[in-house]
Amino acid sequence: MAQRADTTTDRPRLPSRATGLLYGLGFGGFVDGIVLHQILQWHHMLSSVEGREPTTLAGLEINTVADGFFHLATWVLAFAGTVTALVAWRQGRIAPSWSFHFGLVLAGWGIFDLVEGLIDHQLLGVHHVRDDLGAPLSWDLGFLALGVLLIVGGWLLHRRGVARLAGRAAARER
């Protein structure tokens, strides 16, 4: 009877990229919702939709519910990051370095800003970064630029972490 060759190796597996990206998406949403919606009150989820403006009690109630669902979605993303971290741990993957993980968190945050800015601000027009100003486009473009910077900077930081982890793995094999 032929014996199956063991295909497993002792080489450690890199950490999951999904964990950092999901945390970044979730935390990016939390920063948007907590800082821009609640603390600064620059906009709410539906503040540019006719009849849903938060200038009336009914409009504010609708926006508060919409903001709540938005926060629930960002919480689910952050929780999914926790689940992927536990799955990676159970798979025996090595722990991420700080630059590996936080680079992905920053990139995920940037992806959130870019997607949210393109879809909600530009395509759907349900709100803008600053709904209380006469020219919100400049704020929207700044938000998109911040997203791009977070993605690029985060990815560069992540790549540095990948290189360090690969260097450590190569040193162990010697």
- The per-residue pLDDT for range 124-156, each reduced to its tens digit, is 999 999 977 766 889 999 999 999 999 999 999
Exposure string of 44-72, with b = 16+ CB inside 10 Å and e = fewer, is: bbbbbbeebbbeeeebeebbeebbeebbe
Q: Which helix (H) or strand (E) holds 162?
A: helix 137-173
Q: What is the pLDDT of residue 5?
A: 41
Model's pTM, two decimal places? 0.86
Q: Does residue 72 form part of some domain?
A: yes
59 occurs within a structural domain? yes
Name, of 5-9, 46-50, 59-63, 113-117, the range with top average pLDDT.
113-117
Let me know if residue 86 belongs to a domain: yes
Does 91 map to a domain? yes
Would residue 21 count as lying in a domain? yes
Give the pair of three-digit tokens for residue 64: 């508060």
Whether 74 is in a domain gets the answer yes
Domain count, the chain: 1
Residue 171 — very low, low, confident or very high, per pLDDT cuts 50/70/90?
low
**For 76-133, how does the pLDDT look when each residue is reduced to its tens digit (9 = 90+)?**
999 999 999 999 999 999 899 999 999 999 999 999 999 999 999 999 999 999 977 7
Instruction: Provide the residue range defining the domain that includes 116.
Output: 17-173
* Domain presence at residue 112: yes
4 falls within a domain: no
